[in-house]
Structure 1
Amino acid sequence: MRRERLRDLLLDLGLWGLLATPVLLRLDPNDGGSSGQVAVGIAVLGSGVACCRALPLVALALAVALSLATSPELFTPAYAPALVVFGYLAGRRQRHTRGALALFAAVAVLGFALVPLSDGNVSQGFTVVLVLALAIVAPWLTGRYVRQYARLVRAGWELAARMEHEQAAVADRERLRERSRIAGDMHDSLGHDLALIALRAAALEVDPGLGARQQEAAGELRVAAADATARLRDIIGVLRTDEGGDGEPGGAPTTPVGETVEEVVERARASGLRVELTRRGPDGATPPMVDRAVHRLVVESLTNAAKHAPGAPVRVALERTAGAEGTVTVAVSNGPADGERGEASGGTGLVGLDERVRLAGGRLTHGARADGGFVVRAVLPLEPGTPATAPVRPPAPTSVRERDRARREVRRGLAQAIWIPLALVAALGVVMLVFGLWTQSRSFLDRDDYVELRVGDPLSADAERLPPHPLDGPPADAPPEPPGMDRCLYYRAAMTASVPVYRLCLVDGRLADKAIVG
């Protein structure tokens, strides 16, 4: 443990130094920066690295705050590496996605909220969204993919370990079967022979043709044969000890005889399990086979809930219907685990439950719930009947289900890491195209209006005869402006072309020159 902490500390220090290097290079006091900016940036980055393992989204938010404080467009050479690294680590270490999505939305909204601070340049908001998609969201999705891939690998090793345990269990069961076969063979052969010896000794003991001494010896032989038979019975008992009833040596039950479901629930509550029991329907006698099946199902389900979903609430529901075809329905459900899931289960308990319910004439169903919990449900008849013998297709092994689920998550994570940034960039491109067309329409001057303008007319940039937004400047190949002009305004002559443009030059608020340039 101490070695792991030292390793994590060294890695964090190395990451801090790596992220602080571009800050030192780009914010040097001799290069237009200040020592205060350098100190604050390095300190905040250090805080982000310190909390990145426990609170990765906080570290990412700190990097975003530093970038926005340096440039309203979010992208800065000094803090771009921090955005990429913390975005990746947030995806790699954060279990849930809701907080990250909320942070991304807040950054996008904040990017457009800062537009008034940059003289109304709406393109700044689009730049923020573009940097968010490429420098934060894409690394975050990559981290999510790596996390899911690591989970798949870990699940593979867990399944391999489970297979080894299952192989060991199969070998143990085979040894027990062999013990039982040996015991049977000993009983059939040695027991039969000893019985014959005892029978012949008894005949010799009462034979009148033998003397008293020979009859006494025959009696001793009969007693020895009986003793040997008793010892053989003891040996057979030792060999069959592991074949006991409920898992205890000699078949001793693991639960109190006659224990009710209420007592099972109370015992589970006393152990710290959050259990709720509900009953519906009339009271009445229950056949012993059905009663023991209900008891076994509740015990096994509560044990599995405590083992594989620690901290989750459990609900036990019993429903009884009256009539000639009355039934008892028992359902045990638990929510998702509060923390990490417990160790993987081999599934043998559910197999045993299914067999016990089947022998009682009922049917068992079980499976995962939509919220991540698990439910086990059985319907058993109150009237004794024949066991359900209809062939039921066994569910896919737990290993196969978990492997397929992990593969689906990895494929989904890879697809998200590819198409979400592409979708964001495409959506941003469409928005920027629409915005560009709208801006062009606001700077388009109709030809008839241009012809009606006369040199000497009073004119200003906000005149009703002019579009509301002139261009930022002349086109690249425009001739120089006439000398002596106060200012020149440029407007589009065509909606879909950047050239030619109309140039209107003003002196003292009046039109002094107009021309078509470009």
Structure 2
Amino acid sequence: MLRERKRDYVTDLAVWAILSGPVLLWDGPADGGSWLSVGVGVGALGMAILVHRAWPLAALGIAVALSLADSRELYTVSYSTALIALGFFAGRRLAGARPALFSFAGIAAVGLVITLTAGAELWEWFTLVITLLFAVVVPWLIGRYARHYAQLIRTGWQLADRMEREKHTAADRERIRERSRIAGDMHDSLGHELSLIAVRAAALEVDPSLNRRQQASAGELRQAAADATAKLRDIIGILRTDGEAAPTVPSDESVAELVERARSSGMTVLLHAPGPLSGLPRMIERAAHRIVQEALTNAAKHAPGAEVDIRISMDEEPTLTVVITNAARAEGRRLPGIASGGTGLVGLDERVRLAGGSLAHGPLDDGGFELVARLPVIARLSPALEAPEIPGAAGPAPSTSARELSRARQRVRRGLVQVIVAPVSVLAVLGVLMFAFQFYVQSRSVLDRTQFDLIKVGDSRADVETRLPSHTLDGAPDGLRPEPAGVDDCVYYRTKKYDATPVYRLCFKEGRLVDKSIGVDVPDENRRRDDQ
């Protein structure tokens, strides 16, 4: 921070020295000025540089005031560099455009008042506006363009940094989600295996062919499996997160192999299927496997010894339908201590929903339990996972960062257009105004021949001016004879509205009319003879 301040101080001192150079060169005694004007100018510019970072418009106002004090037309060699530099700084540092535009309009209005108050020609005000345009407004527009371009660069880097952070965050989030999925699969798979172990141990525990010690060992094995299932549920429950998508079981085990393992553990399972489920979408195949696995696990827990009937069919839509029914628990068959988390069917319902299907389950009248799942073979995403549609949008809605970058680019393009279009537009308006004013002056600078004849040499200037039009020509037209020697000044008037020559010339000396003539173009050869 301290280094940046030192750099700013050095930069400001260098700018002050550069802006003070023209004042020293053109306002000093050697060029008709005075050291007082140099001191005032250099001191005022120092004040402008001192405040230009915090109040850029105030600094610009100081430079404008110095220029107006030196010339009503605003253009001065001494302060033109200051106008350009401070105008650029104002555009570079001001966020809004309205304060600057109001200030420019105020400068033009003040210049008009000064011109009218001083009784000067309106052409001086046109010169002031043109100087204001090119020495102040154009640098201000360039400064705004530089500001917007810097914002675009900064926004681009911020977007890149944000995207990099979001990329790392997304990777971390995906790793956590994948761990949660693996944890869910572990719970589903290992829970199923432990339930089958408990079923086998329970069967051995009540087997009359075993002695008491063997039955007690089988009971301990069954209790250990139940305790392991409960601990597994508690540990995995911590790793589960809300709103997770349906996990994909990493195992390639088929439904038939799953049923065969259940049979080998002592369960009675009937499978009615049209054939292997190969060729189905991966998500549908895994969902069918998960449905059968959860149904067998629940049957082993809650209805040990009961027959389980699994029916898998395919209709014409096509939709895969899985119907699993188990009879009521056999009398005397009970597996005490088997843990049940109560979330198996909830998770199964979510998996089926995410696969685009539906799940129904409930007890039967005879005490059994039935589960029915319908899975569309042409998988449809759940509405919760589908991207929201935006009316009139051809694609997904842009992110906040993308919108910020787009707005920054639009500001840069708009600033570049303004740098070109604004001066051209102002010049066009000024051109129209100057043409209209020129037309007005022409119509007001025509002297009537009768009034010209009534004017006599020797009349006082005050008497002569009562007969003259409100406007004169701006100097003598090209090609006229030289003015008489020794006169104070001469004024010229048109004889006709749109003709440059001939003109009426009235010359005064010491407040009296000393010469009146009708000036006409001098032929080139006569002009050369007069010059000789």
TM-score by length of 1: 0.64
Alpha-carbon offset, residue 444 of structure 1: 1.7
SS in structure 1 at match of 2:492: strand
Alignment of 1:474-493 (within 5 A): 474-481=476-483, 489-493=491-495
1:514 — aligned with what?
517
Aligned pairs for 1:178-217 (under 5 A) are 178-217=178-217
Gaps (5+ residues) in structure 1?
246-385
Partner of 1:296: none
Q: Measured at CA, do residues 244 and 238 of structure 1 come closer, stay the same or move farther in structure 2, by a change above 3 Å?
A: farther
Q: CA, structure 1 residues 42+179, in 2 after alignment: closer, same or farther (shift >3 Å)?
A: same
Residue aligned with 1:502, SS? strand
Do residues 76 (structure 1) and 79 (structure 2) align? Answer: no
Seen in structure 2, the aligned counterparts of structure 1 residues 34 and 216 have a Cα distance that, compared at 3 Å, is: same
Contact 2:198 2:221 in 1 (8 A): yes
Deviations 1:127-165 (A, max 9, x none): 111111111111111111222222222222233233334
Q: Measure the CA separation in 1 of the matches of 2:466 and 2:41.
A: 49
In 1, the alpha carbon distance for the partners of 2:80 and 2:210 equals 113
CA 1:228/1:493 → structure 2, altered by over 3 Å: closer, same or farther? Answer: same
Cα distance between partner residues in 2 of 1:468 and 1:202 = 124
Q: Is 1:459–1:511's contact at 8 Å kept on the other side of the alignment?
A: no
Equivalent residues in 2 for 1:334-345 (5 A)? none
Q: Tell me: CA distance 1:124–1:7, structure 2 relative to 1, closer, same or farther (3 Å).
A: same
Measured after TM superposition, the shift of residue 473 of structure 1 is 4.2
What SS does structure 2 have at the residue aligned with 1:479?
A: coil
**What are the residue-to-residue correspondences of 1:18-417 with 2, within 5 Å?**
18-116=18-116, 118-240=118-240, 242-243=241-242, 392-393=390-391, 395-417=397-419
Q: Is 1:499 the equivalent of 2:498?
A: no
> Is the 1:205–1:219 Cα contact (8 Å) retained in structure 2?
yes
| Contact 1:455/1:514 (8 A) holds in 2 | no
Partner amino acid for 1:467? P
Distance of 2:222 and 2:445 partners within structure 1: 124
Q: Distance in 2 between matches of 1:506 and 1:232?
A: 117
2:362 matched to which residue of 1?
none
- Classify 1:108/1:29 alpha carbon distance in 2 versus 1 (closer, same or farther; 3 Å): same
Residues 443, 492 of structure 1: 8 Å contact kept: yes
Give, as a single letter, the amino acid of the residue that structure 1 aligns with 2:158.
E
Q: How far has the Cα of 1:403 moved from its partner?
A: 3.3
CA spacing shift, 1:208–1:130, aligned 2, 3 Å: same
Aligned residues of 2:501 and 2:519 also touching (Cα < 8 A): no
Q: What are structure 2's unaligned runs of at least 5 residues?
A: 245-382, 522-532
The CA deviation at 1:230 is 2.2
Q: Deviations over 1:353-409 (max 9, x none)?
A: xxxxxxxxxxxxxxxxxxxxxxxxxxxxxxxxx99x995546443344333333332
Q: Secondary structure at the match of 2:424?
A: helix
Equivalent residue in structure 1 for 2:444, among 439, 442, 445: 442
Amino acid at match of 1:35: W
For residue 498 of structure 1, give the secondary structure of its aligned residue in structure 2.
coil
How many residue pairs get aligned? The number is 375
Mark the CA change 1:490 to 1:68 in structure 2 (over 3 Å): closer, same or farther. closer
Please tell me the residue identity of whatever aligns with 2:112: F
- Which AA in structure 2 matches 1:54? A
Cα distance in 2 for residues equivalent to 1:150 and 1:132: 26
Q: Counterpart of 1:270?
A: none
Shift of 1:456: 7.1
Asked whether the equivalents of residues 502 and 517 of structure 1 are also in contact (C-alpha less than 8 Å), the reply is no
Letter of the 1:239 partner, please give it.
L
**How well do the aligned residues superpose, as a CA RMSD in angstroms?**
3.3
Residue of structure 2 equivalent to 1:467: 469
- The aligned amino acid for 2:16 is W
- The one-character-per-residue Cα deviations of 1:224-272 (angstroms, maximum 9, x if unpaired) are 22222222213312321x4389xxxxxxxxxxxxxxxxxxxxxxxxxxx
Report the alpha carbon displacement of residue 182 of structure 1 after superposing the two structures with TM: 1.4
State the one-letter code of the partner of 1:17.
Answer: A
Q: Does 1:11 align with 2:8?
A: no
Paired AA for residue 514 in structure 1: S
Q: 1:415 to 1:516 in 2, by over 3 A?
A: same
Q: Which moved more, 1:208-217 or 1:93-102?
A: 208-217
Contact 1:149 1:410 in 2 (8 A): yes
SS of the residue 2:23 aligns to:
helix
Assess if the C-alpha contact under 8 Å between 1:88 and 1:142 holds in 2.
yes
Query: Which residue of 404, 425, 429 corresponds with 1:423?
Result: 425
Q: Determine the C-alpha separation between the residues in 2 that align with 1:68 and 1:457.
A: 40
Which stretch of structure 1 is more off in the superposition, 491-500 or 22-31? 491-500
User: In the TM superposition, what is the alpha-carbon distance from 1:429 to its structure 2 partner?
Assistant: 2.1
Q: Is the 8 A contact 1:180 1:239 kept in 2?
A: yes
Taking the aligned partners of 1:484 and 1:157, their CA distance within structure 2 comes to 74
Q: Structure 1 residues 120-129 or 155-164, which shifts more?
A: 155-164
The amino acid across from 1:237 in the alignment is G
